Amino acid sequence: MWEALSSNEMVSAPPRLEAFGRRTNRRAGEESALPHTKRVTLSDVAAMAGVSVTTASYILNGRSAEMRISGDAEHRVRSAAERLSYRPNRNARSLRTETTATIGMISDHVASGPYASAMVSGASAAARAGDHVLIIGETEGDPIIEAALIEEMLDRRVDGIVYVTLATTQVAVPAQLRETRTVLLNCVDVEGTLPGVVPDEYRGGRTAAAALLAAGRSERVFLVGEEAAPEVIAERERLRGITDELASAGTALAGTISCRWSVTDAYAAMMSFLDSGGSASAVVCLNDRIAMGAYEAFAEHGLVVPGDVSAVAFDGSELATWLRPALTSVAIPYAELGSVAVEMLLDGTGGVRRLPMPLLAGASV
Amino acid sequence: MWEALSSNEMVSAPPRLEAFGRRTNRRAGEESALPHTKRVTLSDVAAMAGVSVTTASYILNGRSAEMRISGDAEHRVRSAAERLSYRPNRNARSLRTETTATIGMISDHVASGPYASAMVSGASAAARAGDHVLIIGETEGDPIIEAALIEEMLDRRVDGIVYVTLATTQVAVPAQLRETRTVLLNCVDVEGTLPGVVPDEYRGGRTAAAALLAAGRSERVFLVGEEAAPEVIAERERLRGITDELASAGTALAGTISCRWSVTDAYAAMMSFLDSGGSASAVVCLNDRIAMGAYEAFAEHGLVVPGDVSAVAFDGSELATWLRPALTSVAIPYAELGSVAVEMLLDGTGGVRRLPMPLLAGASV
DNA sequence: AGTCACTGCTGAAACGAATCAGCAGGAACA
DNA sequence: TGTTCCTGCTGATTCGTTTCAGCAGTGACT
Spanning CA of A68 to C1' of C28, the rounded length in angstroms is: 19
For chain B, how far is it from start to end, CA to CA, in angstroms? 80
Strands B328-331 and B310-315: what pairing?
parallel
Is 3.40.50.2300 the CATH number for A99-198+335-355?
yes
What homologous superfamily is domain A201-332 in, according to CATH? Response regulator (3.40.50.2300)
Residue A227 has a pLDDT of: 81
* CATH entry, A17-88, from 1.10.260.40, 3.30.70.1170, 1.10.1060.10, 1.10.1370.40: 1.10.260.40
Residue A151, chain B, CB below 8 Å: the answer is yes
Residue B258 near residue B223 (C-beta atoms within 8 A): no
Contacts of A266 by beta carbon, 8 Å cutoff, 6+ apart: A224, A225, A259, A260, A285, A289, A290, A291, A292, A293, A294, A297
Tell me the pLDDT of chain A (365 aa) as tens digits.
333 333 333 333 333 233 333 333 333 333 333 444 678 999 999 999 999 999 999 999 999 998 999 999 999 999 999 999 999 999 999 999 999 999 999 999 887 778 889 999 999 999 999 999 999 999 999 999 999 999 999 999 999 999 999 999 999 999 999 989 999 999 999 998 999 999 999 999 999 999 999 999 999 999 999 888 888 999 999 999 999 999 999 999 999 999 999 999 999 999 999 999 999 999 999 999 999 999 999 999 999 999 999 999 999 999 999 999 999 999 999 999 999 999 999 999 999 999 999 999 999 99
Amino acid letter at A6? S
Look at residues A362, A337, A341 and name the one whose alpha carbon lies nearest to residue A351: A341
Q: CB neighbours of A118 closer than 8 A, spacing ≥ 6?
A: A334, A335, A338, B112, B114
Is some CB atom of chain A closer than 8 A to the CB atom of B289? yes
Segment B217-260, tens digit of pLDDT: 999 999 999 887 888 999 999 999 999 999 999 999 999 999 99
A53 touches strand C (CB under 7 A): yes
A157 CB closer than 7 A to any strand C atom? no
C-beta separation of A116 from A337 below 8 A: no
Residue of A nearest to B90 (CA): A156
Domain with CATH 3.40.50.2300 in chain B: 99-199+335-356, 201-332
**Cβ of residue B101 lies below 7 Å from strand D:** no
Residues in A touching B134 (Cβ below 8 Å): 135-137
Q: Is A137 within 8 Å of B134 when comparing Cβ atoms?
A: yes
Q: What does the DSSP assignment read for A209-261? A: HHHHHHTT--SSEEEES-PPPTTBHHHHHHHHHHHHHHHHTT----EEE---S
Tell how strand B182-189 and strand B221-224 pair up: unpaired
Q: Which of B42, B117, B176, B183 best tests the A interface by mutation, with the highest count of A CBs <10 A?
A: B117
Residue A114: what pLDDT?
81
Task: Enumerate the CATH 1.10.260.40 domain ranges in chain A, comma separated.
Answer: 17-88
Residue to mutate among B93, B121, B146, with most A CBs inside 10 A, is: B121
Class of CATH domain B99-199+335-356: alpha beta
